[in-house]
Structure 1
Amino acid sequence: MKLPSHILLMCLALALTWADHHEHHDHHEHQHHEAVLDRCKGLEMDAVTENEEGIPYFFKGDHLFKGFHGKAELSNGSFAELDDHHHLGHVDAAFRMHYEDDPTHHDRIFFFLDTKVFCYYQHKINEGYPKEISEVFPGIPDHLDAAVECPKPDCDEDSVIFFKQDDIYHYNVKTKAVDKKEFHSMPNCTSAFRFMEHYYCFHGHKFSKFDPKTGEVHGRYPKEARDYFMRCSKFSDDSDHLERERCSRVHLDAITSDDEGNIYAFRGHHFISKDTNDTLKSDTIESAFKELHSDVDAVFSYQNHLYMIKDDHLFVYKVGEPHTHLEGYPKPVKEELGIEGPIDAAFVCQDHHIAHIIKGQHIYDVDMSANPRVPTNPRSISVLNRVDAAMCGPHGVTAISGNHFYHFGSVMLMAASKILPEQHRVSLELFGCDH
């Protein structure tokens, strides 16, 4: 059968349209999955928020960075519906609703994309979402730049602060009243973030700390986001290395105090030392411990030596100027301490031969004077979800989790405790950071 010419032309047009669509789709999928983002090269983030465990999520385009280091992953891997409903380009704004007085929305994460708002609880979308922004947050405009939660007493009432160009909207969570303001001293925010009870406005790859009520920015801002909110191996030449390490929001990898009372704290490629006169110094790990290079998992001090654990290996240095790497090391952790890695933290208390090894939520004892060394006396640490670093001194154990540390009078009290002791800030109270 011979088809009329106009039917043939129509079929040809449809075929070309289909082919073009799939070529575009395949190209989009290729871009969607092949894009490589490096936050250490200075990215302007689209949105920042915490998850329910307090881990920061940084959004860029259709990708997501979890925590302060690590590679980008596709956002739809964690929040599938963002892509289902939107063919995800980027998240405009995000915040975590964390108000005890609002049980309906407590611990929910809200995402804003164009005119829509998405609400998640533990990575599952709430029923009925996405919704129009005007339905959930009446009086708040579409196509937002940033958003951040502001609980009492930081704001007069439990609120959310929304940013769109020069306009700032304080949204009262209870009454839904909107108070429109202008923060004259603050730059336009591409994302905003509440972290450790402070408020940060990100603009480009820099940030400013601001007062959520007035928008006032005090101190020397803007600062480089990579110096404080990311763990990068290299920094700009004009970075203040000591201030960066003192004030970084990235958690420590390891910490110890030696027999003289000097403290060594390790983070990524860098470490900070604090002597008995509270004098602080910062340098690269490679400059003082070249065999290690970077990324220490745990450190403990024993008989004027630093025992440094990286992955499955143990390095030993004699304390001095400079520190001396012992011949024959590194050796396998399993061979030297009788325990498999990875190890989260380790410490020895003064005048003792017991190395206390923390792995997950368990603590083990290893007698350093024994041969062979074997882990004994396993106990669980129920009061902390994780321990990033720990050290022991004359007054007990200091356990660091995230940006905070907790003091326990003894190892026994740390293992037996059911109530979390007073929370202290690492940057402020351990290293004297003023911001």
Structure 2
Amino acid sequence: MRLGYKSRVSAGGGHRISMKLCVLLCLLPLLRSYPLIKGKHNDTGNNFHPDPDPAYSLPGMSGRCTEEGFGAITLDDKGVMHYFRGDSEWTGFQGPTQHINVTWPGLTGPIDAAFRNHNKKTPLEHHRIYLFKGEQVWSYYEGKLVKGFPRLIGKEFPGIPDHLDAAVECHQGECRTDSVLFFKGHGHETRQNATLMAIKDRCSNRSFEAFCSDDKSRIYAFRGGWYFRLDSSKDGWHAWPLSHTWRNLQGVVDAAFSHEHRMYFIQGSQVTVYLSDQMYIPVAGYPKAIEEEWEVSGVTAVDAAFTCPHSSDLYLIRGNRLTLVDLNTRRRSGEDETIIHSEVDSAMCNAHGLYLIHGPSFYHYKDVGELLSTNTAPAPGTIASYFLDC
């Protein structure tokens, strides 16, 4: 059940502003929709450590990535991720174990849920942190407890129950407006394990079926009915099931690309299109066959597809063959070209160049011209560290 309403939220100095909230209760399928973000602490964030050095652990406290999972996770106002379990907390992927009240004065664990408010239209509320425990909620800004907190959850967020299972920020584009999703009604242990599994999954070096960048320069990585989205280095990676953002879209995405405020998804021989001006709305008449959409006879499936910024050229990759389609005429343009890569899982072109992706690696080219003119592939990069901040 999804309920939309407006709630009055008190900011510092007594200024009162509205924040649009969405409530999702008893929805187990969205368990893994926590914002899965790699924190930016003092380190460069390029190394993923499932278990911190024992020297960093306080006596009697488990390592960061055990099968216990976490009670809650959230970003702070500087884009650093915080992980909560019991009365302990981890900062980033390399920070030591410490007690919760070291970072969050006046609060002890366990924490039921946490989120960072993302609402640029309300500066006094933007990037404020909310931590939930039992019947109460604590709010912090720049590491300090906001005046008037803790408060009863029902007074700060009318209609929201206490003893929550989770709370997740949902940015505009994923939701109609900057919103918060609250969860209650499923097993706490199940949620913890699902959260941990999703964090490990992003950094597992498993291949992705598709990568793409949209008109707002956000990067999407698709794998097995889920996608990870990067808004900016500060906001980090968010993970959602496909249908959360693109209604009725399910299963494996073979290729995806964006062009003129539309997102295109290729699954097998079919193409599905969504408008992306405000939120993603399915375009009527889809899915269509690839051959019908672009008049490319003989093309019934692709390994990858991409467009580059400010261009109407669509490139379809099948094995080592590159097919050019003019999106203005929706027809094949010229003869197919041969590339030096015989296997490509996905491809993405953005302001930084062209990326061909295979397995856990990517190959970077300045543009399509460089790809077509080279006889030697560049040194491969690692997707996990370069794109996913693992």
What's the TM-score once normalised by structure 1's chain length? Answer: 0.45
Higher Rg of the two aligned structures: 1
Relative contact order (alpha carbons < 8 A, sep ≥ 6): 1 or 2 greater? 2
Greater helix share, 1 or 2?
Answer: 1
